[in-house]
Amino acid sequence: MARRFVYGFGGKKAAGNARMKNLLGGKGANLAEMTNLGIPVPPGFTITTEACNNFYKNNRKLSRALQEEVNGAMRNVEKLMGRKFGDAKNPLLVSVRSGARRSMPGMMETVLNIGLTEKTIPGLIKQSGEERFVYDAYRRLIMMYSDVVMEKGAGIEPQAEESGIRRQLEKIMNEMKKEKNYESDLDLKPEDLKVLCNKFKQRIKQVLKSDFPDDHNSQLWGGISAVFASWFGKRAVSYRRIEEIPDDWGTAVNVQAMVFGNMGKNSATGVAFTRNPGNGENHFYGEYLVNAQGEDVVAGIRTPAPLNESSKSITKSNLETLEKVMPDLYRKLDTYQKRLERHYKDMQDIEFTIENGVLYMLQTRVGKRNGPAAVKMALDMLKEKLISQEEAVRRVTPSQLDELLHPMVDPKAELTKKPIAKGLPAGPGGAAGQVVFSSNEAVAWAKSGKHVILVREETNPEDVEGMRVARAVLTARGGMTSHAALVARGWGKCCIVGCGDLHIDYEKKEMNVSGKIYREGDWLTLNGTKGNVYEGKLPMMETAEENVLLNQFLKICDAIRRLGIRANADTPDDARRARKFGAEGIGLMRTEHMFYGKGSEEPLFRLRKMIVSKTAEERRKALDELYPYVKKDIKGVLEAMDGMPVVMRLLDPPLHEFVPREKARLDQLAKELNISADELAQRADALHESNPMMGHRGVRLGITYPEITAMQVRAIFEAAAELIQQGRTPYPEIMVPVVAEARELLSQKKIVDEIYQEVLAKYNLKKIKYLYGTMIEIPRACIVAGEIARTVQFFSFGTNDLTQMGFGFSRDDIGGFLAEYIAKGILPQDPFQSIDQSGIGELIETGITRGRGTNPTLEVGICGEHGGDPQSVHFCHCVSMDYVSCSPFRVPIARLAAAQAALEHPAKKKTSNKKKPRRKKK
């Protein structure tokens, strides 16, 4: 049987349903579902995503079979609407819209009013009685069609955006408005529009070397092809890269009978959310425009009016609400939105149009929301028993949670400042940055390491790249559902829109805010939660620790997750913060980090002295001097984490890293060691390595200089002993880094055992609870993990180095090629961001399986930076690790990701502490 490419809907009956998103796209599937739910939807049909893939296989041609199916479906729509496509008397107009599996707002093309031709215009005028409306629709069709189908769809690249056909036509229209002294598009008379349409057609012919098609079928096929073509348009491809959407998903095309919100004062169009997507509050919330088409709302050209009172308070608009203007229709709308939310059990983002007093629902989809809203909705819907606890956990993405952890403007600092402007709080959190006025500038400035705030009249999809790199986005126009607001919210980015006091001069690269000029490079601070814009750079603060809802939500996560969560922390302060974020221990304390960023340079100096020591005697002396500092810091961290495990990594980096570079410091060092500067330079040179990452570091230092290991281990045990005497319960885990071979660990263990006994005796203790373990970060260590595990009690995977050596990628040197690797699709993503599961992941799995094979009680964790990456946390869950460890700020993310992993893979029980050796996964 031939594949079916077209699925119709309309008349309370649809061939598709909401579960068919992959085939029909999100919009198509939901149009079908709404139809089935008895909600009034203009009839139409969906062309499947498979047809899109076929289009590309077929060299960008629509197949004969598809055309026949479309024609058949069109007959059905004609029947339901009682109009005929291309008919002179009673013509049917249709819209052609994209609809991918996942929403890609504004990334692909739409053509409205298809079917309007010289032949059908008179009939439509007769039917509607609105000549102006018809010519305005024709004008819109010509503008969109020439842009979307004739220019972009045909692959014609205008030299600059300004020379694109759409801008040229807009210019013609603006000239006429100026000439006639019109303020708004609405002032254009039917005669004006007729003239305009003709001028448009002439310009199109002149610029694009072809005629605007005056045939309804040509318009339809052109529209469908253009939507398919837009799937591989530059913007869409770039968006997919960012959002990691595969190319082969394809887009569906929805062809639907046109209904008009711009057929006069009794018509309207609007966009709404069943709950507030900005804070999650349970109020029906939306905006509408009288006598307008849907694009007018989204494009942010006219500021829309609030749907109801609760929307009013948010949009800060005093325009009249739909509730007041058309109360009956509003009630119907409210009924539909409630039905939809109950049906979908999630907040819906809906579009509607009122044509001459008749309400049509054009779209419903799960609404995008920001992080705070996601958490609140999840908790509320759980309370409302709309969803289960598990579902609540699934409802918040790690990146949404991340938004809650974003910096906020310090409220105290804010109190002292008066905002220079106010706008709509479209994206929460705070940000400070230097002003730029174009997407390209934003990208360039950000590349050079600057924090920028992108300021635009309004944004459009061309601005996506700049929005991404900006710390915050600020627009002069548009509402909470404008492009800028939608995109920024999706990314959890600080954003203020509709800030009417801004008057931007793109050419001069400056803006006038209430009489004061701000130029490119000036600093602004935005409070995206309140919508306030401040001059200068205000201090930020972290608020996540105090967020009650967040903590409530994370507690639910904690009940579901199996993975333990620890934090990487090097100082007592870090450790305390980690605890506040919910860390259950320290997974990595880099003992050498304690030497940096201190008030005193004393410890670092002693360390350096040790590093450049030449004889064991010199070194021992320097170590003795260093000892009290090391012990103090270790004790501080153990104390802060009282009762919880703290993994302490012995000295890891190659010694050359610590050699000072400044002459004064070198001289001081030489003097202290009683050697000449030349001698010191020689010693420092001797430490230099060609490939330090694979040089004399980690356990290799411990083997050639056992006295270094001894000093550190003594500091750990003595710090613990002193805490025990003070009634605390320290729990150090001693971790040996850079191990490639079991015998390295045996050699270090001798030292640990010896010093353990010495310290017990010295403090008259029977026992100090501790573990001896190793970092698994060398590929060979994964292979010989079975041998290694016989000597140790825990493994902690150092996935940074494992990725470096497994790939042969020096993290410091990938700049030359990694971007190109990702751009060319050779690697799907940066393996330092997210664990490369097919390669490095298998090494990890091998290491765990073999390690637990010889030591079933082996504790296994991860302490690379991957520990805070949600995908990697999933992986760690699936390979049965005991815990992940990440930076304190990522701990909440890890708690959520771990819970979601447990929901997705419930079978992956904690398998440590089992007696039976496990088998390697096939």
What is d(CA 484, CA 756) in angstroms, rounded to the nearest whole number?
61
Report in angstroms how near the CB of residue 462 gets to a second copy at its nearest: 26
Q: By CB under 8 A, name the one of 125, 675, 703, 760 that touches a second copy.
A: 703
Q: By CB under 8 A, name the one of 88, 125, 694, 765 that touches a second copy.
A: 694
Do the bridges between strand 564-568 and strand 883-886 make them parallel or antiparallel, or are there none, so unpaired?
parallel
Q: Which is nearer to a second copy, 64 or 919 (CB)?
A: 919
Which residues in the 380-439 window bind a second copy by CB under 8 A?
Answer: none
Q: Which is nearer to a second copy, 68 or 820 (CB)?
A: 820
Report in angstroms how near the CB of residue 843 gets to a second copy at its nearest: 7
Q: Which is nearer to a second copy, 118 or 813 (CB)?
A: 813
Report in angstroms how near the CB of residue 737 gets to a second copy at its nearest: 11
Report in angstroms how near the CB of residue 613 gets to a second copy at its nearest: 14
Phi, psi of 349 (to 5 degrees): -105, 115
Answer positive or negative: Cα dihedral of 626, 628, 629, 632. Answer: positive
For 112, the token pair is: 């409205």
User: Which residues are annotated as catalytic?
Assistant: 483, 863
Report in angstroms how near the CB of residue 805 gets to a second copy at its nearest: 5
Q: Which is nearer to a second copy, 451 or 811 (CB)?
A: 811
Per rule CB under 8 A, is residue 501 in the interface with a second copy? no
Report in angstroms how near the CB of residue 684 gets to a second copy at its nearest: 14
CA distances, 273 to each of 28, 293, 459, 788 (Å): 19, 18, 21, 57
Q: Which is nearer to a second copy, 49 or 846 (CB)?
A: 846
Q: Which is nearer to a second copy, 515 or 816 (CB)?
A: 816
Phi, psi of 417 (to 5 degrees): -115, 145
For 388, the token pair is: 């289960």
What is d(CA 424, CA 172) in angstroms, rounded to the nearest whole number?
32
From 275-283, 323-331, 696-704, 896-904, span contacting a second copy (CB under 8 A): 696-704
Q: By CB under 8 A, name the one of 105, 123, 190, 695 that touches a second copy.
A: 695
Q: How far is CA 37 from the centre of its chain?
A: 33
Q: Which is nearer to a second copy, 475 or 748 (CB)?
A: 748
Which residues in the 99-128 window bind a second copy by CB under 8 A?
Answer: none
What is d(CA 271, CA 176) in angstroms, rounded to the nearest whole number?
31
Which residues in the 264-323 window bind a second copy by CB under 8 A?
Answer: none
Q: By CB under 8 A, name the one of 160, 690, 766, 919 that touches a second copy.
A: 690
Which residues in the 5-44 window bind a second copy by CB under 8 A?
Answer: none
Do the bridges between strand 251-257 and strand 94-100 make them parallel or antiparallel, or are there none, so unpaired?
antiparallel
Report in angstroms how near the CB of residue 753 gets to a second copy at its nearest: 17
Site string for a second copy, 763-802 (x = CB under 8 A): --------------xxxx--xx----------------x-
**Would you call 246 helix, strand, or coil by DSSP?**
coil
What is d(CA 462, CA 645) in angstroms, rounded to the nearest whole number?
50
Q: Which is nearer to a second copy, 425 or 653 (CB)?
A: 653
CA distances, 825 to each of 8, 562, 835, 841 (Å): 37, 34, 17, 20
Four-CA torsion 823, 824, 827, 833, nearest 10 degrees: -10
Which residues in the 726-755 window bind a second copy by CB under 8 A?
Answer: 738, 740-741, 743-744, 747
Which residues in the 670-689 window bind a second copy by CB under 8 A?
Answer: 689
Q: Which is nearer to a second copy, 643 or 825 (CB)?
A: 825
Number of residues interacting with a second copy: please give it, by CB under 8 A: 48
Residue with tokens 């000036």: 522
What is d(CA 104, CA 167) in angstroms, rounded to the nearest whole number?
23
Listed in sequence order, the residues at least 6 apart from 276 whose beta carbon sits closer than 8 Å to its beta carbon are 282, 283, 285, 310, 314, 373
Site string for a second copy, 795-834 (x = CB under 8 A): ------x--xxxxxxx-xxx-xx--xx--xxxx-------
- Spell out where 216-347 has E strands: 251-257, 268-273, 285-290, 305-306
Q: Which is nearer to a second copy, 70 or 738 (CB)?
A: 738
Report in angstroms how near the CB of residue 783 gets to a second copy at its nearest: 5
Which residues in the 586-625 window bind a second copy by CB under 8 A?
Answer: none
- In single-letter form, the type of residue at position 553 comes to F
Report in angstroms how near the CB of residue 865 gets to a second copy at its nearest: 18
| Helices 663-673/602-611 angle, 10° precision | 70
Q: Which is nearer to a second copy, 366 or 694 (CB)?
A: 694
Alpha helices in 561-601, H assignment, sequence order: 572-580
Given a contact cutoff of 8 angstroms between Cβ atoms, the answer to whether 861 and 883 are in contact is yes
Q: Which is nearer to a second copy, 549 or 694 (CB)?
A: 694
Alpha helices in 569-705, H assignment, sequence order: 572-580, 602-611, 616-640, 663-673, 677-687, 699-704
Q: How many CB atoms lie within 10 A of CB 305?
A: 24
Q: By CB under 8 A, name the one of 675, 693, 771, 822 that touches a second copy.
A: 693
Report in angstroms how near the CB of residue 747 gets to a second copy at its nearest: 6
Residue with tokens 């939306």: 286
Listed in sequence order, the residues at least 6 apart from 462 whose beta carbon sits closer than 8 Å to its beta carbon are 161, 235, 439
Report in angstroms how near the CB of residue 699 gets to a second copy at its nearest: 9
Answer positive or negative: Cα dihedral of 810, 815, 819, 824. Answer: negative
**Would you call 397 helix, strand, or coil by DSSP?**
coil
Report in angstroms how near the CB of residue 806 gets to a second copy at its nearest: 5
From 29-37, 54-62, 504-512, 693-701, span contacting a second copy (CB under 8 A): 693-701
SS3 string, 780-843, reads HHHHCHHHHHCCCCEEEECHHHHHHHHHCCCCCCHHHCHHHHHHCCCCCCCCCCCCCCCCHHHH
From 225-233, 348-356, 483-491, 692-700, span contacting a second copy (CB under 8 A): 692-700
Phi, psi of 910 (to 5 degrees): -60, 120
Do the bridges between strand 532-535 and strand 421-422 make them parallel or antiparallel, or are there none, so unpaired?
antiparallel
Which residues in the 823-882 window bind a second copy by CB under 8 A?
Answer: 824-827, 836, 838-840, 842-843
Report in angstroms how near the CB of residue 602 gets to a second copy at its nearest: 28
What is d(CA 349, CA 282) in angstroms, rounded to the nearest whole number?
13
Residues found in the chain: 922
Strand partners, 511: 504, 518
Q: Which is nearer to a second copy, 736 or 768 (CB)?
A: 736
Residues that bind a second copy (CB under 8 A): 689-696, 700, 703-704, 738, 740-741, 743-744, 747, 777-780, 783-784, 801, 804-810, 812-814, 816-817, 820-821, 824-827, 836, 838-840, 842-843
